[in-house]
Amino acid sequence: MDASNLTTKLYVSDVNDDSVYFGYHSIMNVDANKTRENYILNFDYMHAIGSISDEQYNSIGPYEIKMRQYNDELMRLQGNLAAYQE
């Protein structure tokens, strides 16, 4: 496989929608999104072919958990700020 065809980080663009509170749909607002970021990470192939070690591969889960915690807190603070500004 040519490495130029390999995607490990895929950004997902927001979709405008005036019928929802924020005015757009985003994967950042989806509960199933492990990090609440606007991208998806996948290193399964890199791990399967031995390009990254077990240690590196196993560090992805804790990173995703920590990013989710940070982003959940940022969303909470954003909600507080919006309420304060009203």
Q: Which of 24-38, 41-55, 57-71 has the lowest mean pLDDT?
A: 24-38
Q: How many CB atoms lie within 10 A of CB 36?
A: 20
Tell me what percent of the residues of the chain surpass a pLDDT of 70.
Answer: 88
Confidence of residue 11 (pLDDT cuts 50, 70, 90): very high
